[in-house]
A and B are shown apart, each in its own frame.
Chain A
Amino acid sequence: MDPRLKSPSRLARLRRDLFGTPLDGAITIALLAALGAGAQALLNWALSRADWAVIQANSTLLAVGRYPMAQQWRLWLLTGLLCSATGASWGLLRRRSWPRNDRIAAGLLLAMALVVPAALELGLDVRARWWAIAGLLLLARWAAGRWSHRLPLICQKLWPLAWPGLYVLGLGLIGGGLGLQPVRTSQWGGLLLTLIEASFAIVLCFPLGIALALGRRSELPLLRWGSTIYIEFIRGAPLITLLFLGQNILGFLLPGGLAPDRVWRAAWVLTFFAAAYVAEAVRAGLTALPRGQVEAARSLGLNSLQTVLHVVLPQALRVALPATVGQFITLLQDTTLLSLIGLLDLLGTARAIMANPDFLGRNAEVYLVLAVLFWCCCAALGLGCRALEHRLNRHSSTASR
């Protein structure tokens, strides 16, 4: 075989890409030097000048805000449940195989469970909970991958339905009621509040967006105009304006007590806002669908509802997925605007911490941790959605050919 046809080794490829010409080599070296200097300065700051006591002392506040200490077991329980479910879903997806990405993820997870609690100087009992939860996740991954094939197929098919159930259960656990001591929304905060607001909006804006997109392409004028006006109105106003509107106006419009409280008000505003953008992403997917698909479905005798459910939406959503995921990630980051309307979300909590007279002037540390936390959340969301995309496409390539 001609050696030139063989794909070059990794080292050779690196050399070809980075040091192909003398100019390339110079640019590479200059960039590496700049990167190295930057990393060294950051490390230098992080290890010698930064004072991480502000994070160690306030880690609980950043995580759950002012959630009462005595009730925090509920959050641990919920985290445990969520991690087990994640592990189970992961295992169902991969079966018995452990591809390299999975091994890396498992390694990272274990490292995180060991390093983070130690870095935060948490008590031994809390560290044990971190270890237990990480162990639970990996155990569920392993067990589901190993034994799920013995479960009846219907159980495997129905497993994704456990997630909405878990979501409702989670909200119940967080908010209390039904025998649990209620914890008011004003006491939710930090990462907990950010995740609640974002997940609530993401879960609800998706169906709402689909409905709006279908409405906008509907042949009924009232529906079409209604959807169009809604979408254009929402897209024409900045989110922060709508949030202020929601906070300021609802109190006057609805008699006292009837208006949803501030946290849910903001969640609904986020939902309605994101729905308009999701609708446009879905509409792009609908537009991309060749006309022949609908005509073929009709000629097979499917009615309109069946056509939409079985032919149009499955294909349109697949096209719209990347744009929609982008919208979800934006939405997660948009939750930081809640701090401007006085909610103690992650950013709001961080600002409160920076105002604590004991930790004045420690802004850089707090903002850096915030950036890392947001990056982790967005990366997780992006990875999850990419896996979903991958799976849908694989499905389509076997089904449609």
Chain B
Amino acid sequence: MVLNLRLQLACSLVAAMALGGCASDEGGLQSQKLALIKGRGELICGVQGTLPGFSSVDSDGSYKGLDVDICRATAAAVLGDPNKVEFRDLNPSERFAALASGEVDLLSRNTTYTLSRDAAGGNGLSFAPVVFYDGQGLMVPKASGITSVKGLSGKPICVETGTTSELNLADRMRELKAPYTPLKFQTSDQTYAAYLQGRCVAVTTDRSQLAAKRTGFPNPEAHVLLPDVISKEPLAPATVNGDPLWSDAVRWTVYGLMQAEELGITQTNVDAKVAKAKANPNLADLRRFLGVEGDFGKQVGLSPDFVVRALKAVGNYGEIFERNVGSGSVLKLERGLNRSWKDGGLIYSPPFR
């Protein structure tokens, strides 16, 4: 409580100073965090560090993954260089403290967007758009011929005990009025070993994990993920709640990656698109999006071409997805819910207007 009061006091002081600043410097929105990052010349990004496809360390010591690319895109948008990122591996228990204490500027660590994490009365984070709609899925041997959860009625299913996966599975099967035999194991290794021995016809956990585990199987092609998703795990980057301008900068950088996919702008053709926008004053939408005209960048505290910088660094959302977890990776995850809304998915950017 004491901390909260102090925080409020500090915030009101900062607000008062900011207002004072506004009076003298017309319209110049101030963000402490942005100023800090620009002054430091480096973005500090909290990642998981050991999650295949999302963040891991390559043999040459560089980080790679979907979460990592979000960090790089943000660094490119803010600082103009996707390599000016310092990655911090964070564990689940310290991630929010690290963000709140300012040790990391941005948390891009497969964090599920929930009420208690977003609420000021909870962890008080400010979430950027969801970058990966994960969810609990089921994997079955291709040879079993099962194509949906319904088909698992009356069959044994392997699950790790004490996890939310176990509860979600029970809820879902009760809903479907499908009896099943749960085979519960203490560790994930035991669970997959039992599945591979054929003691159960399906194994369940988050879909991204299933896909990662599958690549370690003796014969990965013989197993498929069912299309059904039985729980919601929307993973989103997060910033601390007290700095709206910084949160906006991150949010719209991520939206920019999604919007670019919708507009068909990729890492390779972005320069051509910019040239086209510059040459043609009638393409007002494109010109504003790419920062050729308008002040969208300024409104979120960034340079006018922040989207172009991010795209040049990591490509659009679809490219990031395919490269790290999709068809271009060993995980071979289907886009599923992570398709653009135009293709029936949930990836949807509000208009850049």
Q: A342-B88, A342-B91, A361-B215 are in contact. Are A349 and B97 (CB under 8 A)?
A: no
Partner of A355, one of B50, B62, B90, B91: B50
- Chain A contact residues (Cβ within 8 angstroms of B): what range? 20 to 34
Taken together as a complex, chains A and B put the C-alpha atoms of A342 and B56 apart, in Å, by 12
Q: Which chain A residues in 301-355 approach chain B with CB under 8 Å?
A: 340-344, 348-349, 351-355
Question: Once the chains bind, are A340 and B91 in contact (CB under 8 Å)?
Answer: yes
A258, chain B: closest CB distance, angstroms: 12
CB neighbours (8 Å) of B52 from chain A are 355-357, 360
Question: Once the chains bind, are A356 and B94 in contact (CB under 8 Å)?
Answer: no
Q: Is B268 an interface residue (CB 8 A)?
A: no
CB neighbours (8 Å) of B51 from chain A are 355
Q: Is A61 an interface residue (CB 8 A)?
A: yes
Cβ contacts B53-81/A at 8 Å (1 or 0 each)? 10111110110000000000000000000
Question: Once the chains bind, are B56 and A355 in contact (CB under 8 Å)?
Answer: yes
Taken together as a complex, chains A and B put the C-alpha atoms of A352 and B215 apart, in Å, by 16
Task: Determine the main DSSP class of B at the interface with A.
Answer: loop
Q: Is B89 an interface residue (CB 8 A)?
A: yes
Q: Which residue on chain B has the smallest CB distance to residue A353?
A: B57
Pick from A154-162, A192-200, A247-255, A287-295 the stretch touching chain B: A247-255
Q: Is B157 an interface residue (CB 8 A)?
A: no
Q: Which chain A residues in 351-395 approach chain B with CB under 8 Å?
A: 351-358, 360-361
Taken together as a complex, chains A and B put the C-alpha atoms of A247 and B59 apart, in Å, by 28
Most buried by A among B62, B101, B215: B101
Cβ contacts B160-200/A at 8 Å (1 or 0 each)? 00000000000000000000000000000000000000000
Question: Once the chains bind, are A344 and B330 in contact (CB under 8 Å)?
Answer: no
Taken together as a complex, chains A and B put the C-alpha atoms of A65 and B331 apart, in Å, by 25
Question: Once the chains bind, are A361 and B216 in contact (CB under 8 Å)?
Answer: yes
Q: Which chain A residues in 57-80 approach chain B with CB under 8 Å?
A: 57-58, 60-61, 65-67, 69
Question: Once the chains bind, are B215 and A244 in contact (CB under 8 Å)?
Answer: no
Partner of B101, one of A57, A60, A252: A252
Question: Once the chains bind, are A244 and B94 in contact (CB under 8 Å)?
Answer: yes
Partner of B91, one of A66, A184, A186, A341: A341
B340, chain A: closest CB distance, angstroms: 24
Question: Once the chains bind, are A343 and B102 in contact (CB under 8 Å)?
Answer: no
CB neighbours (8 Å) of A262 from chain B are 88
CB neighbours (8 Å) of B59 from chain A are 57-58, 60-61, 353, 356, 358
CB neighbours (8 Å) of A357 from chain B are 52-53, 56, 212, 215, 329-331
Taken together as a complex, chains A and B put the C-alpha atoms of A25 and B201 apart, in Å, by 48
Q: Which residue on chain B has the smallest CB distance to residue A356?
A: B56
CB neighbours (8 Å) of B98 from chain A are 251
Taken together as a complex, chains A and B put the C-alpha atoms of A368 and B56 apart, in Å, by 20
A192, chain B: closest CB distance, angstroms: 12
Q: Which residue on chain A has the smallest CB distance to residue B215?
A: A360
Taken together as a complex, chains A and B put the C-alpha atoms of A69 and B91 apart, in Å, by 27
Question: Once the chains bind, are B97 and A248 in contact (CB under 8 Å)?
Answer: yes
B7, chain A: closest CB distance, angstroms: 11
Q: Is B343 an interface residue (CB 8 A)?
A: no
Q: Which chain A residues in 18-76 approach chain B with CB under 8 Å?
A: 57-58, 60-61, 65-67, 69
Partner of A352, one of B50, B212, B217, B329: B50
CB neighbours (8 Å) of B97 from chain A are 247-248, 251-252
Taken together as a complex, chains A and B put the C-alpha atoms of A252 and B89 apart, in Å, by 19
Q: A244-B93, A244-B94, A341-B94 are in contact. Are A256 and B102 (CB under 8 A)?
A: yes
CB neighbours (8 Å) of B330 from chain A are 357-358, 360
Q: Which residue on chain A has the smallest CB distance to residue B216?
A: A361
Cβ contacts B207-249/A at 8 Å (1 or 0 each)? 0000010011100000000000000000000000000000000
CB neighbours (8 Å) of B212 from chain A are 357, 360
Partner of B94, one of A186, A342, A349, A361: A342
A74, chain B: closest CB distance, angstroms: 16
Question: Once the chains bind, are A342 and B90 in contact (CB under 8 Å)?
Answer: yes
Q: A342-B49, A357-B329 are in contact. Are A349 and B101 (CB under 8 A)?
A: no
Q: Is B103 an interface residue (CB 8 A)?
A: yes
Taken together as a complex, chains A and B put the C-alpha atoms of A343 and B94 apart, in Å, by 12
Taken together as a complex, chains A and B put the C-alpha atoms of A357 and B103 apart, in Å, by 28
Question: Once the chains bind, are A251 and B57 in contact (CB under 8 Å)?
Answer: no
Taken together as a complex, chains A and B put the C-alpha atoms of A350 and B56 apart, in Å, by 11
Question: Once the chains bind, are B50 and A354 in contact (CB under 8 Å)?
Answer: yes
Q: Which residue on chain A has the smallest CB distance to residue B218?
A: A361
Taken together as a complex, chains A and B put the C-alpha atoms of A61 and B94 apart, in Å, by 25
Taken together as a complex, chains A and B put the C-alpha atoms of A66 and B98 apart, in Å, by 22
Taken together as a complex, chains A and B put the C-alpha atoms of A310 and B190 apart, in Å, by 59
Most buried by A among B61, B90, B329: B61
Partner of A66, one of B61, B88, B94: B61
Taken together as a complex, chains A and B put the C-alpha atoms of A360 and B213 apart, in Å, by 8
Question: Once the chains bind, are A66 and B49 in contact (CB under 8 Å)?
Answer: no
Q: Is B86 an interface residue (CB 8 A)?
A: yes
Cβ contacts B78-118/A at 8 Å (1 or 0 each)? 00000000111111011001101111000000000000000
CB neighbours (8 Å) of B93 from chain A are 244, 248
Taken together as a complex, chains A and B put the C-alpha atoms of A140 and B268 apart, in Å, by 57
B180, chain A: closest CB distance, angstroms: 28
Q: Which residue on chain B has the smallest CB distance to residue A184?
A: B86
Q: Which residue on chain B has the smallest CB distance to residue A57?
A: B59
Given A244-B94, A352-B57, 4 other A-B residues pairs in contact with their CB atoms under 8 A: A61-B59, A248-B93, A248-B101, A355-B52
Sort A-B residue pairs by CB-CB distance and give the 10 closest, nearest first: A361-B216, A251-B101, A342-B89, A66-B61, A355-B56, A352-B57, A355-B50, A351-B50, A360-B215, A57-B59
CB-defined A-B contacts under 8 Å, sample of 16: A60-B61, A61-B57, A61-B61, A69-B61, A244-B94, A248-B93, A248-B101, A252-B3, A342-B88, A342-B89, A353-B57, A357-B215, A358-B59, A360-B212, A360-B330, A361-B217
Chain B residues in the interface with A (C-beta under 8 A): 3, 49-53, 55-59, 61-62, 86-91, 93-94, 97-98, 100-103, 212, 215-217, 329-331
